[in-house]
Amino acid sequence: MLPAAVARARELHRVGALYPWRTIAGPEASAYFPAGTAQVHIDGDIVLALRRYVEATGDVELLWEGGADVVFECARFYAGYGSVGLDGRFHLHTVTGPDEYTALIDDNHYTNKLVRETFLYAAELAGELALLDPDRFAGVKARTGVTDEEVARWFELAPLVHLPVDDRLGVTKQDASFLSKPEWPWDEVPQDRYPLLLNYHYLDIYRHQVLKQADVLLAHTLLPHDVPRWQLRRDVAYYAPRTTHDSSLSACTHAIAFAELGDLETAARFFDATARIDLDDTHGNADHGVHVAAMGGTYLGLVDGFAGLKVEGGRMSLRPRLPARWSRLAFRLNWRGARVLVDVTRATTTYRHLAGGPLELLHRGRLVALAPGETVTLPTGPELRGVVFDLDGVITDTAELHYQAWQELADHLGVPFDRQRNEALKGVDRMRSLQLILEGSGLVLTEAELHELAERKNRRYVELLGRLGPSDVLPGVRELLGELEAAGVAVALGSASRNAPTVLSRLGLAGRFAAVVDPALVFRGKPEPETFERAAHALGLLTDECVGVEDAAAGVEAVVGAGMAAVGVGSEATLGAAHLVVPDASSLTLARLREAHARAFPR
């Protein structure tokens, strides 16, 4: 005989299949279906919550007693609601995501990402339960009707779920049409007309780029494992200014996102907005009751945001960081029966085992093993673990070769060019350099012609590289690389040059760099930070654990924007934005790099 809870769940599912998005009694739960029934992401929210609960507690019995049924039925629902299109991707049409100012659209990113995770968890769960207790799992299959073919289909659909990034803007698409809509007329709408849903017709709101609450950013903060820093940064920069925060659930998500990017003061302002929503009655409706979800958001802002809590490899992973006006953050966590006190100050983070069995966690990627009753104290701030070098002017000086190749091209085109104009090309990628050379020339060229000219310059540059050899490594560089290797500090190259591997090879340095960023993968080159963000990612490090070394102002701007400590090689007047400037590469030592890192991240 089925447990009563499972029998009831089956009955509710039967009723729900006949009358979607209903209360237990049957009437429509939402009076306005675009903001209610169409929010099919809620099935995925429940699956994610269940998965996190089981992950944190190890309560597998919940899965046997109906939890697995919920997961399988949600996966089954999504497989039927969506479809594979002519492009071979799995799409969900006519949905509403968390942003209720955008309704009945296709391929909402948040919804699609929850769908993908539901498919993956359902397939994974089926395999795990079958191994754990085959006989008991046979009972689950019998009552749900789940077949091996159905499970295989979920696994097949997961990687097909459509999660596009816009080619033009480089931002994650909130949905299929959001980025093509006109902007909301921010300057024309007075502050007293917010929240918009109380003052404007829904069709006015729906046809503009305006968000009630975090949507893409909510997906990124709840499921951060495949969101690199460069994507989060671009998406925050795009969507945060277009969000009204008319929902009490929005500010906490932004607090977490800004904390992850290292903008702790902005994160703290969003945290305050969440924590004080009822204390200050900022939404003007505290007389209706407290905002319980915002209370949960306050906790998430503290723990997921400022403490940097994630789950990695089945362990809790923390990366604590405090805004300037905070001196301490302390809270307790339960994980698989063990209870631990996390006590963060600006200088140190202490983990105190309070109850339960032994516990392993990660502090800034380092394994911490806590025996019952044990206390471990570690530095709160980042340690220097990686260095990312630019190439030209730092490792070697190929600037003269670049200049010669550009000068020959400019002469061919009849365009004025000299060494002064060449200075503006430092740290800039090939196509952007060509555009700067052509500015004011009056030449009108097609895209194909521009690419041919860039290739012509590159062919000449590669010819000139034939002169390069090991003796062209700048003084002090080999010694510094040896010092870093001896200290266990990882090294990467973050250059805009697509010929960087060739240059390193000719210099005899190819084996000294653990990672070399491929500029072809970078959406926008320097001064955008992506090159340095990718370098840290390739080293398996956080950007605040790295120092970037650059000789160009655009490069220094990119390093700082990546959340790294910046060292400039050259003139203080040009590179003053760096945390430390040295006159030449021979002045670089591990001690000076550590000095720059300490300036960037004081304790």
28 vs 12, 16, 20, 100, CA distance in Å?
14, 11, 8, 18
From the list 322, 344, 333, the residue with the least C-alpha distance to 299 is 333
Peptide bond into 527 cis (omega under 30): yes
Which of 73, 100, 530, 557 is flagged as catalytic? 100
List, in sequence order, the alpha helices (H) in 240-311. 250-260, 264-275, 292-300
Burial class from Cβ neighbours inside 10 Å (0-12, 13-18, 19+) for residue 147 reads exposed
Q: Report residue 539 as tokens.
A: 């080293």
Contacts of 83 (CB under 8 A, 6+ apart): 90, 91, 93
Instruction: Report how far residue 463's alpha carbon sits from residue 392's, in angstroms, rounded to the nearest whole number.
Output: 17
CA distance 557 to 535: 16
Radius of gyration of the chain (CA): 27
Instruction: Say how far apart CA 513 and CA 390 lie, in whole Å.
Output: 12
Q: Which residues of 546-580 are buried (b: 16+ CB within 10 A; e: fewer)?
A: bbbbbbbbbbbbbbbbbbbbbbbbbeeebbeebbb
426 in helix, strand or coil? coil
Is the bond preceding 195 in cis, omega lying within 30 degrees of 0? Answer: yes
| Token representation of residue 364 | 């800034």
* DSSP three-state, residue 509: coil
Q: Which residues, other chains included, contact 304 with Cβ-Cβ below 8 Å and sequence gap of 6+?
A: 221, 256, 310
- Structure tokens belonging to residue 538: 């390739």
Nearest to 227, CA basis, from 309, 171, 155 = 171
Pairing status of strand 546-550 against strand 90-91: unpaired
Query: Is 100 among the catalytic positions?
Result: yes
> Can you tell me the distance from the alpha carbon of 167 to that of 467, in angstroms, rounded to the nearest whole number?
38
Count the neighbouring beta carbons within 10 Å of the beta carbon of residue 61: 9
Catalytic positions are 100
